[in-house]
Amino acid sequence: MLIAVIPPKPSKGLTEALLVAGVTWRPAHDPSDDWDEAGVLLVELGDDPEGHLASARRIYERSGLPAVAVADRAAAATLETAGFLMDFMFNPPDPVELRLRLRRLADGADETEVLRFKDLEMNTATYQARLDGVPLDMAYMEYELLRFFVQHPGRVWSREQLLSRVWGYDYFGGARTVDVHVRRLRAKLGEQRARWISTVRSVGYRFG
């Protein structure tokens, strides 16, 4: 697996992680380079997040390579504005995680594993969700509930039905569990998109 890396001289931590992960890489200098052999574009935000993201965006727009970022937690807000990124990791990257994420992006996601509703995209293979290109941070059951809703738009579901279908028949939690997760989902979808999940009085919830 060959990947293109920005900046040309990545940090010692990333260089070592790439070496341990067994990943072959070369620096990405110019958008006009031929990147046919590369599988992924990896950008380390480092001390110039805006500049490195701008360089990555130019290469992405030219090559169409799936792009992933490595960032310090302090630069997390910058990631929210980079809709072309397919994934990200925080520094220092774990070599095993790095190899798995790069391999998954290089292989490409099966379209049958991607669910879409308006500007929401859910990759059920990687358990990632993106809203207008921005990654959503969701707990496992929040993701499962949203996936169920997206797979069944327009239908009204009672809380008991949702508990049974999403949490499973052996789950002993009460209906309030559903209300709590719906409230969290609405918050993460944002004020405008929260309307996607409507409350049907005395019954339950409807998506779409």
pTM, two decimal places: 0.53
Q: What's the pLDDT score for residue 34?
A: 62
Short-list 152, 63, 88, 85, CA closest to 115: 152
For tokens 């405008």, name the residue. Answer: 192
Inform me whether the pLDDT recorded for 184 exceeds 90: yes
Mean pLDDT of the chain: 85
Inform me whether the pLDDT recorded for 199 exceeds 70: yes
Least confident among 49-53, 89-93, 113-117: 113-117
Cross-strand bridge partners of residue 6: 43
Q: Over range 18-23, report the average pLDDT.
A: 89
Q: What's the pLDDT score for residue 64?
A: 73
Q: Over range 121-127, report the average pLDDT.
A: 78
Short-list 163, 154, 91, 100, CA closest to 127: 100
